[in-house]
Chains A and B, each alone.
Chain A
Amino acid sequence: NAGVTQTPKFQVLKTGQSMTLQCAQDMNHNSMYWYRQDPGMGLRLIYYSASEGTTDKGEVPNGYNVSRLNKREFSLRLESAAPSQTSVYFCASSEIRSNQPQHFGDGTRLSIL
Chain B
Amino acid sequence: RKEVEQDPGPFNVPEGATVAFNCTYSNSASQSFFWYRQDCRKEPKLLMSVYSSGNEDGRFTAQLNRASQYISLLIRDSKLSDSATYLCVVNPPGSARQLTFGSGTQLTVLP
Spell out A's residues near B (CB within 8 Å): 31, 33, 35, 40-43, 45, 48, 50, 56, 58, 88, 90, 94, 96, 98-107
Cα A113 to Cα B87 in complex, Å, equals 30
CB distance from B1 to the nearest CB of A (A): 14
- Given contacts A58-B98, A106-B43, whether A99 and B49 have CB atoms under 8 Å apart is yes
Q: Is the CB of A94 within 8 A of B97?
A: yes
Minimal Cβ-Cβ distance residue in B for A30: B97
Minimal Cβ-Cβ distance residue in A for B3: A42
Q: Is the CB of B91 within 8 A of A98?
A: yes
Cβ contact of B43, chosen from A40, A98, A101, A104, cutoff 8 A: A104
Q: Mark B19-50, 1 if CB is under 8 A from A, else 0.
A: 00000000000011010100001111110010
Interface hits, B75-90 → A, CB 8 Å = 87, 89
Cβ contact of B97, chosen from A40, A43, A96, A103, cutoff 8 A: A96
- The 19 sampled A-B contact pairs (Cβ below 8 Å) are A42-B103, A42-B104, A43-B44, A43-B87, A45-B98, A48-B96, A50-B96, A88-B41, A96-B97, A98-B31, A98-B32, A99-B31, A99-B49, A101-B34, A101-B89, A102-B99, A103-B46, A106-B42, A106-B43
Residues of B within 8 A of A43 (CB): 44, 87, 101
Range for the number of chain B residues in contact with chain A: 20 to 34
Cβ contact of A40, chosen from B49, B87, B96, B103, cutoff 8 A: B103
Cα A58 to Cα B95 in complex, Å, equals 10
CB distance from B55 to the nearest CB of A (A): 13
